[in-house]
């Protein structure tokens, strides 16, 4: 982002601030300069790959799985379930993703509440009992 664009963005921000409260001319000028400098600094920071990498890897995989969401350790986006399709956008398979971030092989890539609901539903369905009965019935006939 060049300086002209940064100043235009800063003017828009300061104009919105000035519409909410009264500001002196010196305040407006100083605020435009400081906001424009901040915007320029942010633009430079986004171009630096070292900062982007450190921000991406800042998420601790153990803290990524929360009660109501799970955060992708690759991009930092929050989901209820990290799908195979999303992981593929990072060039990984779910197995590679788990191995890369130290998750167990069978770890569900879903938030804790959803994993708990699924587990309870499977226990209620008792599929292992149905499968055993059907196999036993086939032997008698």
Each domain of the chain, given as residue ranges in start order, spans 3-47, 59-141
pLDDT digits (tens, 9 = 90+) for 76-123: 889 999 999 999 999 999 999 999 999 999 899 999 999 999 999 999
Q: Nearest to residue 105, comparing CAs of 94, 120, 121, 116?
A: 94
**Residues near 11 by beta carbon (within 8 Å), at least 6 away in sequence:** 32
Q: Nearest to residue 13, comparing CAs of 33, 25, 3?
A: 33
Residue 111 phi, psi dihedral angles, 5° rounding: -65, 160
- This prediction has a pTM of 0.51
We find that the CATH architecture of domain 59-141 is Orthogonal Bundle (1.10)
């Amino acid at each position: 982002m060049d300086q002209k664009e940064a100043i235009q963005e800063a003017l828009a921000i300061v104009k919105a601030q000035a519409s909410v409260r009264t500001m002196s001319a010196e305040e407006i000028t100083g605020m435009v300069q400081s906001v424009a400098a901040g915007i320029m600094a942010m633009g430079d920071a986004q171009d630096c790959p070292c900062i982007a990498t450190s921000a991406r890897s800042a998420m601790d995989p153990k803290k990524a799985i929360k009660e109501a969401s799970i955060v992708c350790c690759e991009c930092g986006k929050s989901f209820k379930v990290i799908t195979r399709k999303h992981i593929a956008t990072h060039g990984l398979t779910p197995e590679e993703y788990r191995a890369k971030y130290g998750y167990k092989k069978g770890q569900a890539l879903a938030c804790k509440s959803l994993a708990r609901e699924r587990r309870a539903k499977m226990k209620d369905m008792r599929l292992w009992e149905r499968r055993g009965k059907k196999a036993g019935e086939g032997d008698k006939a």
